[in-house]
Structure 1
């Protein structure tokens, strides 16, 4: 599959950065309580009880009530401006209020590792492109001016943003968009390998450990504020296109570019600091010969799921999906439908995770420019409807209209002043939304009540904007009457939902020499597995693990053992041992010779291990569907010269008590190749 083209985020122009009519900041006159609070330290949430967790393919609140994350992206912290774009022409309070009033219940905020690193060392980057002004005649972004007249730095701005989001009922999660602050940093495909000069003058190479350390620090710093509910570990891991030294891969290896392992290690570090944080994990570009959008390929989850030590209750997988305007793809080269998109791309790439109730999905980016290609609008509508029908969380790309190949939900933003009833001059941000994009594609996929169309927030106490309700209000007043558009329309009782029992896995085993290897499939929602053995009629715990296999050692050959594997979910063990099986290890000595081979030119040399009680040995080859003895004798080696070129399937056997051991011949067989 051809390498996919991906967006170039437009850098802000000098003209766009200027606020019309703005004058230099005055240090007296007005002060900002929000900026002062932000400068004093971390933001502390009221109650800190809005954390979410996963069961199967759904997300739930602390009471076991289902939630739906329907949000949007607001980029800029990842760029060299170190601030969300359009704060240069809009007031932060006005913008966040308007975001909430339009039903956005969560913001995905791209950042860089460089930005977090400078926060971590206590020397945050200054913000650029924003000119806050506390002149009473033109009060612009006064929340970004501290009492001493200084403009907030990037971390203080982030804290002000969290404060505003809390005020209006919006939640947030950050996404590591690039290693360094760079307006086009998303083109670089891996999480390590770039360098930057830190604020303290140190040259910093972004290694995997630096990337992990900055995210773990952030999780620890903000663990008291449930406005920041999660961490998207890396935006769009992909191939070397864009300057990365290697492709991001997904397998079970310890390779430094193995995204699955890196994500697992990073999740462990974050959850050690904040066990309640959601961990959002994107896909890669290629997996076992199958291509995808950058960040879109989650085929590897079926084979190699991310299994943090604390379990999978906080894991959310987050593919990205786009239409033909971003890059034309083969699945668009027909009169495509939802079913053809599923057959050709969606299902095996990411939709199976939801369909099989494995883990929650959040489409981290979807969107596109309208009016260029009718197929783009068609794709937007089909994806929108699929997410609604199947309760797939999502964050639209994006609010900003300066995303080069997608545009945004905003069309333009301007700031001016007006006079209130008392004659005081007050600032006013004029925000022009793309009406068609919002009303036809985004609004239908926002979580809201069925009849009254009230937006449903994720805060238990604070309503989402002027036309929204809090989570508590929804479940106490609306859930059992009109319900919501969740799953294409659902009414529930609004009571705390009892946890769905998680079944213990089906276990199989492979016998080893004085050992057995137990294997089982991953259980959705499992936090831990425990291996038990029945001893003297009672079940005794052997060990706990997050893996889906375990080796029982020091067993007696030929003896039967009864074992079981049970699951821990929602903090409780399922102590049902009815999935137990009987396992029997092999003896410590193989029943057949273990052979090694070497080839030198046309000469083949074989040697093999001795087998207790063997009368003689033979070398056999496979031909015309049958095994034929080539040589036999009471020796432990064999040499054959002038062997014709070709590939041969061989086996070494032992004769014990007058009979050849012919068990598992195909398993024991090996091949050799003679080249001339």
Structure 2
């Protein structure tokens, strides 16, 4: 099965029939492999298959699976306290990557796409670049090649999210130490050699170049962006990979995550449309690239800033207005500190209001495909 981009949409080429079909990714982020637990969270409370079946039953058809370097190394064992083996007996004795492979294989049976996300280098924080004192650039590349070799055989693995939120990177500066575009162009071909049917997901940065960021429509807000959100430089410095393989994947959040000054604008939330479009929306609507929102979310009034509900509703409205149908909501997990999850704290029941807002988008997009 092959995945490719055409006219700004993601297509799946069925190997059996040879016919292409547009697919929309209605996804959630299920995190944990990127932490020192080395395994998705919630397995202390739930059976892993039950969790996947619930995701499917709600209409989600994709999972972004964050990992760190050590969780995908051979021999790494998950934190035993992170798994209740009484309700997950088939995970007993398995390494972290063996558990990840079971999740991917079961997701394939259920018709759930998987996006693999190199979220952290070490497993403690989001480092600024794609290399660090702990993990060299070559180790980063080697890790991706190893992961691609292992998971390329699963037809539901749609691609590689090269690096989560490279907030210390630049874009278009031609500095090999910081230019995120150059890094993607160096790493992605190595992945595509092993998994040529995959897509390459490219997140935004925090800053790009001063001459680009400072010509923002909102000069005062030029640098008030979220990590992974800034795709302004794509207009001038697109990633030089085959068009059909590139997916741009911004992250954006509301006031629950950080109180940006534009949330205090008297016309909020009407000001958000222009901000989203200027930072990343134009990549699809003007340039015709595929766009998948890799992260957005918040507590939706369940604690936190009450304006988060307004922000999330307006964001879904904007996605519908612009026929941007692909997303991965942050998060499935109940234990995301600043956003909460689709799941409530019992790890079983869902926040129905959060879900219904997302369902508006899923229902709309399903109706047009």
TM-score by structure 2 length?
Answer: 0.89
- 2:76 corresponds, among 124, 127, 148, to 124
Contact 1:143/1:160, CA 8 A, preserved across alignment: no
What whole-Å deviation, never above 9, does each CA across 1:74-114 have from its counterpart, x for those lacking one?
Answer: 10000000000001110011111111101111000110123
Contact 1:252/1:261, CA 8 A, preserved across alignment: no
- RMSD after superposition: 1.9
Residue aligning to 1:215 = 144
Question: 2:244, 2:79 → 1: CA distance?
Answer: 36
Contact 2:165/2:228, CA 8 A, preserved across alignment: yes
Question: 1:107, 1:209 → 2: CA distance?
Answer: 27
Question: 2:31, 2:83 → 1: CA distance?
Answer: 18
Question: 1:351, 1:219 → 2: CA distance?
Answer: 29
Question: Counterparts in 2 of 1:160-309, with a 5 A limit?
Answer: 160-182=102-124, 185-186=125-126, 188-195=127-134, 206-238=135-167, 247-289=168-210, 290=213, 291=223, 292-308=225-241
Question: Counterparts in 2 of 1:419-430, with a 5 A limit?
Answer: none
- SS of the aligned residue for 2:87 comes to coil
Residue aligning to 2:22 = 66
Question: 2:156, 2:187 → 1: CA distance?
Answer: 21
**TM-fit CA distance, 1:254:** 4.1
Contact 1:337/1:382, CA 8 A, preserved across alignment: no
* Number of aligned positions between the proteins: 349
- 2:368 corresponds, among 459, 478, 490, to 490
Contact 1:319/1:364, CA 8 A, preserved across alignment: yes
Contact 1:179/1:194, CA 8 A, preserved across alignment: no
Question: 1:411, 1:221 → 2: CA distance?
Answer: 33
What whole-Å deviation, never above 9, does each CA across 1:179-236 have from its counterpart, x for those lacking one?
Answer: 1122xx12x22121132xxxxxxxxxx1111111111221122211112211111111
Question: 2:360, 2:207 → 1: CA distance?
Answer: 32
Question: 1:374, 1:300 → 2: CA distance?
Answer: 33
Question: 1:128, 1:335 → 2: CA distance?
Answer: 50
Residue aligning to 2:217 = none
Residue aligning to 1:377 = 309
Question: 2:80, 2:179 → 1: CA distance?
Answer: 35
Question: 2:79, 2:306 → 1: CA distance?
Answer: 39
Residue aligning to 1:413 = 346
C-alpha change, 1:128 and 1:194, in structure 2 (3 Å) is: farther
Contact 1:367/1:396, CA 8 A, preserved across alignment: yes
**TM-fit CA distance, 1:339:** 5.4
Residue aligning to 1:462 = none
Question: 1:126, 1:438 → 2: CA distance?
Answer: 30
Question: 2:193, 2:315 → 1: CA distance?
Answer: 35
Contact 1:325/1:373, CA 8 A, preserved across alignment: yes
- SS of the aligned residue for 1:189 comes to coil
- SS of the aligned residue for 1:60 comes to strand
The alignment status of 1:103 with 2:59, answered yes or no, reads: yes
C-alpha change, 1:78 and 1:234, in structure 2 (3 Å) is: same
TM-score by structure 1 length?
Answer: 0.50
The alignment status of 1:395 with 2:312, answered yes or no, reads: no
C-alpha change, 1:374 and 1:218, in structure 2 (3 Å) is: same
Question: 1:176, 1:350 → 2: CA distance?
Answer: 21
Residue aligning to 1:494 = none
Contact 1:132/1:144, CA 8 A, preserved across alignment: no
C-alpha change, 1:209 and 1:315, in structure 2 (3 Å) is: same
Question: 1:402, 1:178 → 2: CA distance?
Answer: 18
What whole-Å deviation, never above 9, does each CA across 1:241-286 have from its counterpart, x for those lacking one?
Answer: xxxxxx3111151421111100111111111111111111101101
- 1:355 corresponds, among 266, 278, 285, to 285
Larger Rg: 1
**TM-fit CA distance, 1:335:** 4.1
Residue aligning to 1:657 = none
Residue aligning to 2:32 = 76
The alignment status of 1:144 with 2:91, answered yes or no, reads: yes
C-alpha change, 1:338 and 1:278, in structure 2 (3 Å) is: farther
Residue aligning to 2:250 = 319
Structure whose residues are more often helix by fraction: 2
Question: 1:144, 1:315 → 2: CA distance?
Answer: 35
Contact 1:389/1:486, CA 8 A, preserved across alignment: no
What whole-Å deviation, never above 9, does each CA across 1:162-194 have from its counterpart, x for those lacking one?
Answer: 122122221111111111122xx12x2212113
Unaligned runs of 5+ in 2: 14-18, 214-222
Question: 1:171, 1:127 → 2: CA distance?
Answer: 26
Question: 1:445, 1:256 → 2: CA distance?
Answer: 39
Question: 2:322, 2:178 → 1: CA distance?
Answer: 33
**TM-fit CA distance, 1:337:** 5.8
